[in-house]
A and B are shown apart, each in its own frame.
Chain A
C-alpha cells in the first residue's frame, strides 16, 4: 500500500496532529514501509476464523446501576490548563 502525501495529511487531520511539509514527506515513506510490511498477513487464510475479542472466556461483568462516586469537582478539574468555577475553559466552539 503506497501512502501518498495527500493521505498522510488526511490521516494527520483525522488524528488532530499538525504536521509540517518536511514531516509529511518523511511520514509518506515510513508509513508506506510499515504498511507494506504488515501486508504479509494477507498470506494467512482467515476464512471462518473469529476475531479474538478476549483472552480467556469470561462473562462481561456488570454492576448495580448505582452512583458510587462523585462530589469531587475540585479533584476533577485540578489538572486542567484553564478552569473557572469548576468548568473547563476552552476555545470558542460556536459563534
Chain B
C-alpha cells in the first residue's frame, strides 16, 4: 500500500469514499509516523492513540453505513490552545499544569461532529505568544525543513517552524496529520505556514467561534486551519467556521462552500499591491518571489493595481500595546485557586505571586507586565486608547483600498525560516517577524498564506492574500491560482526517520 500519510486531506477523503483503505488504517499510519518523528520534531505535546483509534472505528462504521460526515475518518492534529473534553489542555504553559477541560471548544466540536479523528495535541508558543515556538513549556518544535549548504547537502542546523502554531505547521509539513487546527492573533497561522511550505488561513474576526480556545488577546484571536493544500484548507475552514451563541463576537452569517470557490478562476479580479510592504531589510528573494506571484496572477487573468496603506508601519507598535493589554487582563484568571498550578506562599497575595512567577514563562511574564503598565492608572489614554485609534486608521486604509481592489497581495514574512536561538535574545527582532501579518489582525480582515517558492537555501517562502471582511472565498480562489502556478513544496527528505 502507498504511504497513507503522504495523501492530502482531499485525497484521503476521496480514498475513504472509494473504500481503498479504512479510517483505522489511515489513523494507524499517522500514529506510526508520529511515533517515528516526534522525538526529533516535538510537534505533539500529547498523542492520543486510543482516543484516535476509537474515533476511527466509529468513522468506519458510519462510512460503511453511508452516513459519513464532511471529514469522516480524517486524522487531524489539534493545537493545545483548543480545549479538549477530558484531555489535557495546557496552552503549552506550566500554569495550566494538568488541566483537563470539562468541555470541548466549539471549533473542535464542529470537526468531531463532521467525523474527524484527533491524533493528539500540538505544540505552540506558550499562550500563543511567540513567532518561533521557542516559548513553549514543552520545549522547541524543530522544523522538518533543513537548509541546503553550498555543497547541496542538507545542513543539520535546526530551524524554527514559525509560531505560535509551530506544532501545527511542523506536523502538517512532516505528514504527521492530514491538517491541523491553529490560531492567529498577530500572524500565528500565516507565518508558520510560510516557514514550512503549508497553507494557512486566518478567517475574518467572528467567522470561527472563540469559545473553548484559551484566550490571548480577545479582539485579535481567530482560529483557522493549517493544511497541505489550498483545497484542504477550504475543506477544513468550511467545517471549523460557524455561528456560536456562546461567543457573542461570532457572526451569524452563512458559511459558503469554500471548495466550490476554488475553480472560479481569476478573470477580472482586481489585485492590490501595497507599496508600504516594500520595507527596508526585506530579503531580495522575497521581493523576487512577490514579483513572480504578481506575474502568475496576471497570467491567470487578474489585473494588478498599486495601492497605498499609509498606516502600515504603525500596526506592529499598536499591536504591541493592544495584545499585551488584553493578555494581561485575560491571564489574570490564572491565580492558582480554581485550576492549574498553585505554589503556596505565606498569604493569599504571596501565593498568587509565587504561582504566577513559577507558572508563566519569560515572554508571557514580559507581555503581562507591558500590558499591566499600559493599562495602569494615568496611562490608558496614552497607550491603549491611542493604539485603538490607530487601529481605526489601519482599518480605514483597507476600506479605502477595497473600494478599488478585490484582494491585497503581499509577502507573508520579511525573511525565510531562521535557526533555533537566532532571535530569542532580542524581543523586538522576534516581533518584526509579524510585520506583514499583524495589520490583518488589527483590521479584523481575513488573511491567507500560500507557499510560493523556495529560498536559495531550499527552505519555503510564502505569499499573503488579504481580503474584504467575510470574503474568504476570494482568498481561496486567488490562492488556488498561486498554487497552480507555483506547485506544492514538500520536505525533500524525512531525515528524522533515519537512525
Contact = CB atoms under 8 A, between A and B. Distances in A.
B102 A78 contact: yes
B338 A51 contact: no
A22 interface: no
B373 interface: yes
A80 interface: yes
Contacts of B360: 17
B204 interface: yes
B427 A18 contact: no
B245 A63 contact: yes
Given A14-B372, A15-B372, A91-B348, A51 B389 contact: yes
B344 A91 contact: yes
B269 interface: no
A46 B321 CA distance: 16
B7 to A, nearest CB: 36
A76 B314 CA distance: 42
A44 B388 contact: no
A30 B328 CA distance: 17
A53 B388 contact: yes
A52 B387 CA distance: 9
Interface in A60-94: 60-61, 63, 72, 75-82, 88, 90-93
A43 B342 CA distance: 44
B428 interface: yes
A40 B317 contact: yes
Nearest to B345: A91
Given A16-B335, A17-B368, A38 B383 contact: yes
Contact of B314 (A3, A7, A41, A53): A41
Contacts of A41: 314, 317-318, 321, 386-387, 390
Contact of A78 (B100, B389, B391, B395): B100
Given A50-B389, A52-B392, A15 B368 contact: yes
Contacts of A61: 245, 248
Contacts of B390: 41, 44, 46
Nearest to A80: B338
A16 B353 contact: yes
B251 interface: yes
A18 to B, nearest CB: 4
A95 B314 CA distance: 51
Given A46-B389, A52-B392, A16 B102 contact: no
Contacts of B353: 16-18
Contacts of A17: 353, 356-357, 360, 365, 368-369
Contact of B205 (A3, A35, A55, A82): A55
Nearest to B328: A15
Contact of A11 (B249, B369, B444): B369
A30 B370 CA distance: 10
B347 A38 contact: no
Contacts of A55: 204-206, 395, 443-445, 469
Given A37-B317, A79-B339, A88-B337, A31 B370 contact: yes
B298 to A, nearest CB: 31
Contact of B395 (A35, A38, A52, A81): A52
Q: In this complex, which of A7, A43, A50, A61 has the most chain B Cβ atoms within 10 angstroms of its Cβ? A: A61
B135 to A, nearest CB: 15
A50 to B, nearest CB: 6
A7 B369 CA distance: 11
A56 B444 contact: yes
Contacts of B245: 61, 63
Q: In this complex, which of A27, A46, A53 has the most chain B Cβ atoms within 10 angstroms of its Cβ? A: A46
Contacts of A51: 385, 388-389, 391-392
B277 interface: no
Contact of B393 (A33, A49, A60): A49
B317 A56 contact: no
In the A-B complex, list the 4 residue pairs whose CB atoms are closest, starting with the nearest: A55-B444, A51-B388, A79-B339, A75-B102
Interface of B: 99-100, 102, 204-206, 245, 248-249, 251, 311, 313-314, 317-318, 320-321, 328, 332, 335-342, 344-345, 347-354, 356-357, 360, 365-366, 368-370, 372-373, 376, 383, 385-393, 395, 427-428, 443-445, 469-470
Interface of A: 3, 7-8, 11-12, 14-19, 27, 30-31, 33-35, 37-41, 43-44, 46, 49-56, 58, 60-61, 63, 72, 75-82, 88, 90-93
8 contacts: A27-B369, A35-B373, A41-B321, A51-B385, A51-B389, A56-B206, A78-B102, A82-B342
